[in-house]
Amino acid sequence: MKKYRIGLVGIGAVGAEIIKVLRERDFPAEEIRVLARSERDEVIAGETFHVQPAAVEAFKGLDFAFFAGTEGAKGASKQFGWPAVEQGAIVIDNGDDFRMDSRVPLVIPEINAAALQKHQGFIANPNCSTIIALMVLAPLHRVARIRRFIASTYQAVSGTGREAMRELEDQVKCHVAGKPLKHSAYPHPIAFNVIPKIGSLKPEAPGHTSEEIKMRNETRKILEDKKIRVGATCVRVPVMNGHSEALHIEFDRPMDPDEARTILAKAPGVKIMDNVENDLYPLPIEVSGQDDVYVGRIRLDESTKNGLALFVCGDNLRKGAATNAVQIAEKLLELKLKK
């Protein structure tokens, strides 16, 4: 089997997870070259990697280059993305700088792998909350077109990165010790709290944050349907890892819960966990470390015509970021689209 030279830009929470996923899935990697701001050694899952300073010439000889930005992370792919393509690498970017670029496919392999046929050497990972929602929404949309959905998200601190995860731990310890809760990752303490703002405010959509606008724009691009109306409120919650979302959907025809379960039972990468009588429903603490997206609380939404409501959970570091990126590379090899 041919082996490939892999580059990884960034070694934070997502970057570390990409290395774990590459190893777990036995990706045919001859080399994993880690690039970041400063030179050092990093130990990931018991394996030591020598980190090189990121520079254009550092991408020479690579087959794939993963850019491992967390939510809203900017800069690295803007500086090095297209130069890496010019060096011969296929870029798979987890940041949001190029998701809406017409040159760049925005891909969830289970949903729109065909978009890879048009890649120009640069492919974008959707936002984690978009991926987790669309893993469930897309199979339903194929059967009965979605006119509108409303998403209320409950997003874990791991989406912000390692510092936010440490901050949540420290705040819990301080609370138990009766000490003040210091904060820097967010504008307020996150322990025992929720913060209804993720990302920056967008002048073109007054009152909405960048995270909320991403869900609308990315959904339309991935599903190739500009008419879908999306309302989102994105909330940071004191959960270490695993995003949850309450979705209220309006279809163009009636969709009852049994039909939805039948469709979702066949959807790749989706697991149904829906027995509310026995307290069986998706929980972030249980999906953490899993690659599937879990769905439950499937029921009629009587507040709108042809309405359905459901609840989804997924690991934002894995399927919401690292696993999806590695799956894109695997799909490229499968489709023999490697340049």
Reported as a single tens digit per residue, the pLDDT across 167-210 is 999 999 999 999 999 999 999 999 999 999 999 998 889 999 99
Rounded to two decimals, what is the model's pTM? Answer: 0.96
- The CA–CA distances, whole Å, from 195 to 16, 238, 264 equal 26, 9, 31
User: Which residue spans of the chain are classified as CATH 3.40.50.720?
Assistant: 4-126+321-334
Does the annotation count 248 as an active-site position? no
All residues at 6 or more sequence positions from 75 whose CB lies less than 8 Å from its CB, including other chains: 95
Angle between the 128-143 and 257-265 helix axes, to the nearest 10 degrees? Answer: 110
Q: How many CA atoms lie within 13 A of 104 on its CB side?
A: 23
- Tell me what pLDDT residue 45 has: 84
pLDDT grade for 1, boundaries at 50, 70 and 90? confident
The yes-or-no verdict on residue 116 having pLDDT over 50 is yes
- Tell me what pLDDT residue 40 has: 93
| Residue among 262, 258, 259, 233 at smallest CA distance from 245 | 233
In this prediction, residues 242-257 reach a mean pLDDT of 98
- The CA–CA distances, whole Å, from 86 to 74, 81, 89, 234 equal 20, 9, 7, 37
- Tell me what pLDDT residue 284 has: 98
- Tell me what pLDDT residue 339 has: 45
Catalytic residue among 119, 128, 141, 234: 128
Angle between the 13-24 and 323-334 helix axes, to the nearest 10 degrees? Answer: 40
Contact in structure between 135 and 270 (CB atoms under 8 Å): yes
Residue type, 272: I
Alpha-helical regions (H) of the chain: 13-24, 76-86, 109-112, 128-143, 162-176, 210-223, 257-265, 284-287, 323-334
All residues at 6 or more sequence positions from 314 whose CB lies less than 8 Å from its CB, including other chains: 128, 131, 132, 135, 242, 243, 287, 290, 292, 293, 294, 320
The yes-or-no verdict on residue 72 having pLDDT over 50 is no
Angle between the 210-223 and 128-143 helix axes, to the nearest 10 degrees? Answer: 40
CATH 3.40.50.10490 fits 130-316, yes or no: no
Greater pLDDT, 37 or 172: 172
CATH architecture of the domain formed by 4-126+321-334: 3-Layer(aba) Sandwich (3.40)
Please give the backbone phi and psi of residue 311, each rounded to the nearest 5 degrees, phi first: -130, 130
The yes-or-no verdict on residue 256 having pLDDT over 90 is yes
pLDDT grade for 337, boundaries at 50, 70 and 90? very low
Cα–Cα distance for residue pair 8/32, rounded to 1 Å = 7
User: Which residue spans of the chain are classified as CATH 3.30.360.10?
Assistant: 130-316
Please give the backbone phi and psi of residue 282, each rounded to the nearest 5 degrees, phi first: -65, 140
The yes-or-no verdict on residue 106 having pLDDT over 60 is yes
Does the annotation count 243 as an active-site position? yes
Greater pLDDT, 44 or 301: 301
Catalytic residue among 119, 141, 208, 243: 243
- Tell me what pLDDT residue 169 has: 98
The yes-or-no verdict on residue 94 having pLDDT over 90 is yes
- Tell me what pLDDT residue 336 has: 73
pLDDT grade for 128, boundaries at 50, 70 and 90? very high
Least confident stretch, 70-74, 148-152, 216-220: 70-74
